[in-house]
Amino acid sequence: MHQTHVAVIGAGIAGLSCAAELRRGDAQVTVFEKSRGLGGRLATRRVGPFAFDHGAQFFTVRNAGMSRFLASAQVSGTVAAWQPRTCVDGNIEAQPQQDWHVGAPGMSALVRNLTRGIEIKTGVSVHELLKGQRGWELQTDAGLQSTLFDAIVVAVPAPRALTLLSQHGRGFRRLLEVGMAPCWTAMAAFETPLPLQSDVFRWSGGVVRWAACDSAKPGRPKGPQAWVLQASADWSAKNLNAGTGEAAGMLLAEFGAATGITLPKPVHLEGHRWRHALVERPLGRPCLTDEDIAAVACGDWCTAPRVEAAFDSGRAAARAALAMIGLSGPLTKR
């Protein structure tokens, strides 16, 4: 008996929520991820005694599907509530945040519960999708994959999805409608705590739009304070080709100016450039499908720049793929 096999490209929360849903639908699943780790922008960088959530900072829960996932993650200890006191445009909010959650001990831990029973190939970049009469083949930096896939799900940022899918179906040209912006992030650690009254700072203008003391998040390493600073989309775009050290130094200086304090010399400082970090113009549908070629694209770029939106998009993509290969009811038109 033929075992239905689906390839998922991308191991962020959209790709892994999709893979988990496909597995529940009795499909065999292989996930391909170009990075060594899992989670995509649910990213945690560990350097010696420091841990930095240098991508997504927290997530919220608004629907039943994410609520069930949250409950499961709480049982396994991979998620925790975070209730920081925030300062917005220089004004400290009266009450701490009540509905923020973080992965524990880092944001990347959030996807751990989605990987059971799934084959995951990390450090493998997919360069080309080849559609034949018998199914899909994947050309990777490790060579042509020997497995033929009945369907594919592309769960990567919209510009990369467009590169992989545009030649295969006119419908995927709608990816051109999606607007995504870059984001420079700085990671800085200080031997002594900074003289600040809040653990989270948000600004509606200026270069730095977000600053958080990651050491204040639950489950994080104790010791030197670890801070994550994130730049505006405009500034990130203008400085897209800056060196990581140069960008981190500029963001650190802007953070000091925005908070009005003299920053001590950090014991660790580095930058990270996210080329496709911020969804500025979403597609406006849960996922993008082509039934004729059994292909689906998904991600937060489908509906909203939120972790929960990526999770929901992945599940919608799985249901669409299962319908295409005959493992569920008729496909709902999207």
Residues 252, 265 contacting (CB under 8 angstroms): no
- Give the confidence band of 332 by pLDDT, cuts at 50, 70, 90: very low
- Give the confidence band of 2 by pLDDT, cuts at 50, 70, 90: low
pLDDT of 330 above 50: no
Distance from chain centroid for Cα 70:
17
Please report how the helices 64-76 and 307-324 are oriented relative to each other, as an axis angle in degrees rounded to 10.
110
Q: What is the DSSP letter of 57?
A: -
Residues 233 and 240: their CA atoms lie apart, in Å, by 10
**Element spanning 225, H or E:** strand 225-231
pLDDT of 264 above 60: yes
Residues 155, 320 contacting (CB under 8 angstroms): no
Which pLDDT score, from 0 to 100, does residue 328 have? 61
Q: 227: Cβ–Cβ under 8 A, 6 or more apart, which residues?
A: 187, 188, 189, 190, 194, 211, 212, 213, 214, 255
Residues 312 and 309: their CA atoms lie apart, in Å, by 5
- Give the confidence band of 3 by pLDDT, cuts at 50, 70, 90: confident
The C-alpha torsion from 52 through 54 and 55 to 59, rounded to 10°, is: 40
Mean pLDDT value of segment 227-236: 98
- When the pLDDT of each residue in the chain is averaged and rounded to a whole number, the result is 94
Q: Which domains does the chain have, with CATH numbers?
A: 5-38+115-177+284-324 (3.50.50.60), 46-109+179-280 (3.90.660.10)
Which pLDDT score, from 0 to 100, does residue 334 have? 34
For the stretch 26-57, pLDDT in tens is: 999 999 999 999 999 999 999 999 999 999 99
Q: Which residues pair with 8 in a beta bridge?
A: 31, 153
Residues 2 and 135: their CA atoms lie apart, in Å, by 13
The total number of residues shown for the chain amounts to 334
- Give the confidence band of 331 by pLDDT, cuts at 50, 70, 90: very low
User: C-alpha distances in angstroms, 57 versus 67, 100, 188, 229?
Assistant: 18, 9, 15, 10
For the stretch 138-182, pLDDT in tens is: 999 989 999 999 999 999 999 999 999 999 988 999 999 999 999
Which pLDDT score, from 0 to 100, does residue 170 have? 85
